[in-house]
Amino acid sequence: MTPDWDDVRHFLAVAETGSTLAAGRALRVSQTTAARRVAALEEALGVILFDRRQAGYLLTPAGEALLTHARSAQDALRRLTDEASLLGRSAEGVVRLTLSPIFAFTFMMPIIGDLRIAQPSIHIEIDTTEDVRDLAGGEADIALRVSKERRGAGLVWRLLTADPWTVYCSRAYAERHGVPRHMSELVNHPFIGGGEPGVWAHYQAWLAASGLEEKVIMHHNSSTGLLAA
């Protein structure tokens, strides 16, 4: 028997919350409905998904095995609806894009012309800032950011590329002072910091872990400022 997707949705809710009562609250249905939906899915699949205990619902080995597939199906359905929503929109109007200044100058601006040719009805507003805009709150339509977070609630994301970290200096600096070949030689060179706490946190943490905080001679919270310096 082919399982009903609504039954799968209730199975996921019970697996995540640990009880039919909590799952019912999350899905805004009664506890009885949540329990009935799970039972219907078990009957359709021919396996027991939960061990019913007084303390709550615990996944059986079969439930654990099928949970991954259920989550994948849920993610696929979300992607389907997201893509359908995007395809249903006409390519016209204002698109507000927020990104770091460094991305605007090195990545985005060179392709704006091609985008205008491909989509002449789109008017692009570019917000160059290091501040994180609230997409869900309508502060921007698209954000191009470096982040460890892969997604947010209700947001569609795409991983464009990896961004490895390394230490850079200008050619003029290298000619004048040389380039360190080992980590131990970094203490002989000055560094530019990333500004107040919370700005360029990964870089700041690396400076601290490497014992190089005292070698910082200037702070700059702008990516373009760091590049220019």
Residue 172 has pLDDT above 70, yes or no: yes
Residue 42 has pLDDT above 70, yes or no: yes
Q: How is domain 5-87 classified at the CATH fold level?
A: Arc Repressor Mutant, subunit A (1.10.10)
Domain range list for the chain: 5-87, 93-144, 171-228
State the pairing for strand pair 122-128/142-144. unpaired
What is the pTM assigned to this prediction? 0.45
Mean pLDDT, all residues of the chain: 82
Looking up tokens 């997707």, which residue turns up?
5
Residue 196 has pLDDT above 60, yes or no: no
Rounded to an integer, the average pLDDT of 56-65 is 91
Rounded to an integer, the average pLDDT of 12-25 is 93
Residue 68 confidence class, pLDDT cut points 50, 70, 90 = confident
pLDDT in tens, 77-122: 787 777 766 665 556 778 888 887 777 766 677 677 777 777 788 8
The dotted CATH code for 93-144 is 3.40.190.10
User: What is the pLDDT, as a whole number, of residue 29?
Assistant: 93
User: What is the pLDDT, as a whole number, of residue 132?
Assistant: 81
